[in-house]
Structure formats: structure tokens, C-alpha cells
Amino acid sequence: MKTQIETNGIVTLDPEVSQQMENSPLWNEDLRPTTTEEHSWKGINFAALWVGMCLCIPTYTMASGMISLGMNWYQAIFTIFLGNVIVLIPILLNSHAGTKFGIPYPVFARLWFGSKGAHIPAMARAIVGAGWFGINTWIGAGAIDTLLSASFSFWQSVPFHTAIVFALFWVLNVGIAYKGPEAIKLLSIIAAPILALSAVILLVWAFTSAGGWGPMLSAPSKFSSTGEFLKYFFPSLTGVIAFWATMALNIPDFCRYAKSQKAQAVAQSLSLPFTMGVFSFIGIAVTSTTLVIFGEALWDPVLLLAKFPPFIIFLGTIVIVISSITINVGANVVAPARAVENLYPQRLTFAMGAVITGLFALLMQPWYIMSNFGNYIFGWLGTYGALLGPIDGIAIADYWLVRRRRMALKELYTLDGRYNYTSGFNMNGVYALLIGVAIPILGLFIPSLRFMWDNAWTFGLFISIFAYVYLMRNDKSVLSKEEYEAITVFSDDTPTSSSTSDAGAAIK
């Protein structure tokens, strides 16, 4: 029986099958596969999404920690660019699944963990997303609070002024996220050109005001040997990879709306690594000129902005608010909200998930995570990188190596279907995850294996790939080419309403 339609590499459920699935406890309007009409995101939408998310305070200051460890400017930029090229690979591999089958991340996870087991990777991603939501809300609120203090002398005397700004900014972030992915798409289109123009203006001002790039770009590395450099390079590289390892997992949440594979792949390949590298360079270059202009290195763009007249501070505050909200609702709310929704699709909605994400973010105490650089890059980024690397590996191994890009869409929404495994759990996925996490953790306790923990995301990813492929050999849930063709109607052209009806008639 044919239940799905493949058109130009995009697979959708037959409309009649969709109607039959509406009463399934695994189905709701947010988690169902996208329709042909909903595959509307062009390359510009994905480029805008990444530019809007990359142009943020954490990216601006990312290189500062590496330079404080002893790197020179081009070592720091190389580390950042390489880390983003590496994480781009799993992003593109998982993007293919979201684009082809139009499914969000929690549903994609059902494929490799089972209908109930999917909550494990979905909630793991949700916890990290909620943590990042809190971090970026804290950073944005702190920036606003600092700029208000610089503009209005009375502000610092207001009781609990930081808490007031944080609460209001939290409400604003949750409120926008509440509107869903289409609001995020619109926000990205608006934010990207504003943030890009602001970055260029800042760079031009710094260069012209200082009469050059300043001393920082000519400062040599503090490392006396390659070995000494590599001691700090690999943990920093892992931190850079972990920065977007979250999006490598739930990128199907966005790519399920892609118009084509080419549209999302080309746009993401061009926008992510280059935006991160260029904006990090702007952060270093501007900070270098502040040594000349102000006599001190101002890594925090908020502290730099506070040096300007009130009107410039006002404009800068708007830019920082836009930046913080764009990365927050784009990268940090969608996955947790979907994961919460997936716990009970018949009752919970994306909007409810967004509110729960915001509340959970408060419990994770972002003010502690950001209290010092060690907590941030070695504690926060390094630890969750060790968790998400194996999950990335399992997702890639399942889709590309085990199933070879073939799946039965209907079965993902059926409790007793092909992907239910044993009582809703694919234990092969659970075992592969445990193996991928446990082996790098040995580096915390065995000094000679420390390199595995310093590169936990990478080691975990490859270990879990090998483990999962081995465990899933000859698994009954895998569709053969013949089985896939038996359930799929193939069409070379975008189906019209009449051709869709014809496909439905064929299924009958």
C-alpha cells in the first residue's frame, strides 16, 4: 500500500493517510510531516537565520577567552572557523533528513530511539536549549541594564534593577517564541541586515578612530611550542563545536520547511562558518583598537557602547536586544518546546512548550554558568558537548548508514508500527549512546586519556556511529529499497491539487 509521495526528493504523506493519523497519540499539528506547500523556505531564509543567530554577544566575545589563554588573533580565528566547519558537517547531514521527510527533531529521534525512547535525545537537547535560553537572556538583560545605567544616572539606585530588566527581557523572549517558527522566520529576515550593518559600522568606526587596527593584531602567541598550543587548542575547538552542536541535532526543526536540498545546503554552508569567523575577527579588531582609543581592552561590546553619547547607546541597545532575541528564539526555544510537546502531543502545544522552556531556564541559574570563563567553555560547553556528540553520531549513522535515507513516514506516528521497537524503546540506540558518552568520560579519570575528554564531542560522535551501525545490523525496522518503493508514489514535478488527488486515488 502506497502511503507517501516523493516529489523532487521531498517526501510528504498522502492527504488521506494524514487524515487517518490525526487521532494517533503521536500526532499533532506541530509534529506532523510538512505538506508540499509548507516547504517554502528559500536559501535566503536559512542565510538570514544563521546570520541573525551568529551576530550575537557570545560570538563577539568568543575569541577573547582564547586570546586570554595565550593565542594570537589568527590562531583564535582559525580555531573558531575550523570548529564551525566541523560542526557544519553534522548540521548538513541531519538537515537532509528534515528537508526530505519534513519532520521535526523529536519525530526524527523516534526513528533511532523508538516512539518512547525518543524522549531521551529530545529532552537532552531540551535541557541544553533551556540552559542556552537562560544564558542569552542573562547576557541580553545584563547588556540592557548596563546601558540603562550609562544613560540614566538614577537607574542604578532603583532596587533590584537588574532583576527587573531580566524579568522583562525574559517575558519578551518567551512572548515572541510563543508565536512559533513563522515568527522566528520573520524575525530573522528583519534582524540579519540590521545586525550585519551594525557590525560593519562598528568595525569602520574602530579603524578610523584608532588610525589602524591597534596593537592586539600584532601581538604574538604566548605559546613557546606546538605542544603547548595544542594543549589549549583542542578544548577550545571542542567548545566552538559545542556552540552549535545543539543546532546540529535539531536543525530538522527548520529544514523541514526547506524548498529544496540545494536551498538549505548552499545557504547554510556559506553563512555559518564565514559569519562566525568574520564577526569574531570584528570582535578582536575592535577590541584591539579600544586599547588605543581608551587605554584598555574592552572585550564586552556593552562596556564599549557605554562609552558613547546617550543617542548612540539607545541605538546600540536596540541592536543588542534584536541580537539576543534572534539567537534565543531561533536556537534555544524551538527544540525544547518541540521536546515538551512530544511528551504529550494530544494535549501540549508548541506555545506551552515555549513557556515551560523559559521557566526551566530560570532553574538552571544562568548567572552561575556565566560567572567565569572556566564555567562557560570548560564546564558548560565541554560537558554538554560530550552528551550531544554521541546523539549526533547516532542520528547520522541511522539515517545515512543504516537506513540509507529511506523511512516510512506513517510508521513514525504509529504506536505499534515499525519504529516502536520493544515497548517503544530501541535499546540499540540507548546502548550506543551510553558507549559514546562513557568512553570519553574515561579521560576525566585517566590522565593518559585526557585528550578524549578534551575532544569529547568528536570522539563521542565517531564512537557512537560505529557502535550504532554494529548494533543495528540486520534490524527488522530497516526498509529495503523494494519496501520503500512499495509504499511510495514517485513524481518528478511538484504535485498540484489534482495530482495529489490522483495519488490518493492510487492508494485506494
| Residue-level pLDDT at 449 | 92
436 pLDDT higher than 80: yes
Is 138 inside a domain boundary? yes
Residue 102 in any domain: the answer is yes
Q: Is residue 218 part of a domain?
A: yes
pLDDT at 296: 85
Provide the pLDDT confidence category of residue 153 given band limits of 50, 70 and 90.
confident
pLDDT score of 327: 85
* CA 71 centroid distance within chain: 27
Give per-residue pLDDT as tens, 64-113.
878 878 888 899 999 999 999 999 999 999 999 999 999 999 999 999 99
The CA distance from 287 to 295, in Å, is 11
Kindly tell me if the per-residue pLDDT of 493 is higher than 60: no
pLDDT level of residue 164 (50, 70, 90 thresholds) = very high
Is residue 132 one of the residues assigned to a domain? Answer: yes
0.85 surpassed by pTM = yes
DSSP string covering 111-134, please? Answer: HHH-TTTTHHHHHHHHHHHHHHHH
Give domain status of residue 30, yes or no: no
| 313 part of a folded domain | yes
Instruction: Give buried/exposed letters for 278-290 (b at 16+ CB in 10 A, else e).
Output: bbbbbbbbbbbbb
User: From the DSSP assignment, how many helices (H) and strands (E) are in the chain?
Assistant: 23, 3
Strand order in the sheet with 10-13: 10-13, 4-7, 488-491
Judged against a pLDDT cut of 50, whether residue 284 lies above it is answered with yes
- Domain assignment present for residue 13? The answer is no
CB 91 within 8 Å of CB 247 = yes
Residue 496 pLDDT exceeds 80: no
User: Using CA atoms, how far apart are residues 305 and 238, in angstroms rounded to an integer?
Assistant: 31
Taking CA atoms, 452 is separated from 164, 394, 472, in Å, by 43, 18, 25
Residue 77 CB neighbour total at 10 angstroms: 20
pLDDT per position as a tens digit, 108-148: 999 999 999 999 999 988 888 888 888 888 888 988 998 99
What sign has the CA pseudo-torsion 379, 385, 386, 388?
positive
Residue carrying C-alpha cell 544613560: 151
Note the pLDDT tens digit of each residue in 244-278. Answer: 888 999 999 999 999 999 999 999 999 999 999 99
Q: 139: domain CATH number?
A: 1.10.4160.10
**Is 90 exceeded by the pLDDT of residue 378?**
no
Would you say residue 8 has pLDDT above 80?
Answer: yes
Q: Is residue 497 domain-resident?
A: no
Inter-residue contact 140 to 366 (CB < 8 Å):
no
Could you tell me the pLDDT band of residue 498, with boundaries at 50, 70 and 90? very low
**Cα(294)–Cα(296) distance, integer angstroms:** 6
**What mean pLDDT do residues 356-380 have?**
71
Question: What confidence tier does 499 reach under pLDDT thresholds 50, 70, 90?
Answer: very low
Residue 480 corresponds to which cell in the numbers above?
A: 529495503
Share of the chain above pLDDT 70, in %: 93
Least confident interval from 111-115, 453-457, 464-468: 453-457
Distance CA 64, CA 284 (A): 7
How crowded is residue 438: how many other Cβ atoms within 10 Å of its Cβ? 13
Range of the domain at 184: 42-389
Dihedral sign from CA coordinates of 95, 326, 243, 427? negative
Tally of domains within the chain: 1
The CA-CA-CA angle for residues 128, 133, 136, to 5°, reads 120
